[in-house]
A = this chain, B = another copy of it.
Amino acid sequence: MAPSQEEVTLLGVVGSPFLHRVQIALKLKGIEYKYLEDDLNNKSDLLLKYNPVHKMIPVLVHNEKPISESLVIVEYIDDTCEQNPILPSDFYQRALAHFWAQFMDDKCVVAAAKFVLKVDEKEKEKATEELYEALKFLENELKDKFFAGEEIIGFVDIAAVFIPLLQEVAQIQLFTSEKFPKLFKWSKDFYNHPVVKEIMPFKDQLFVYFKARAQSLAAKKKN
């Protein structure tokens, strides 16, 4: 994928951390694209056509070929565009990046979602425990500045974008600087990186997304 002169379209919903992962990757690579905002409660024909399996955003369409699942898309962008590598070239480091990105989806995103929803006190307590257990592993994994090392935004940083999204934009304190000093600093640094800051939604956009997501999930439960 060359930075320009290619047909790149991205289907998304602003506020979705999964969309913002892809947008950060495209921005890091300097790839221009056409952005199409979708509607979680009234999905477009284009979304249903390009992601018939999950019917979920984000979908990247490169020269009419669609790709779904945010981390699969980020890796495809990295594979097809050499500048500013996102995944390490060393195979062991690459495997670790895959491992931690998967950990982010399987453990952290799930725990953070429960933490934010926090239905009752007992559930909240359990969710907090799960979230802290997951974050403890991340705190230990963090390098000097980013997960990939000083000044370099990598695959795991991109996978972790939901942290500054909740912590900085929505001002939901997932953790304090006392509890996770390295993660706290990472969240601020990552959020303030020019590539990331430009992409992050505004607070009201985020709330619109949360509301639509909750409605979409509620409708799914009914069916």
Contact = CB atoms under 8 A, between A and B. Distances in A.
A69 B107 CA distance: 13
Contacts of A98: 69, 72, 75
Contacts of A103: 53
Nearest to A98: B72
Interface stretch (A87-95, A114-122, A148-156): A87-95
Contact of A69 (B65, B102, B137): B102
A111 to B, nearest CB: 13
A25 interface: no
B53 A76 contact: no
Contacts of A137: 53
A31 interface: no
Interface in A119-140: 137
A78 to B, nearest CB: 9
B92 A65 contact: yes
A79 B94 contact: yes
Contacts of A96: 67
A68 interface: yes
A35 interface: no
Contacts of A68: 99
Given A53-B137, A75-B95, A76-B91, 18 more contacts: A53-B103, A62-B92, A65-B92, A67-B95, A67-B96, A67-B99, A68-B99, A69-B98, A69-B99, A69-B102, A72-B95, A72-B98, A73-B95, A76-B92, A76-B94, A79-B91, A79-B94, A80-B91
8 contacts: A67-B92, A67-B95, A67-B96, A72-B98, A73-B95, A75-B95, A75-B98, A79-B94
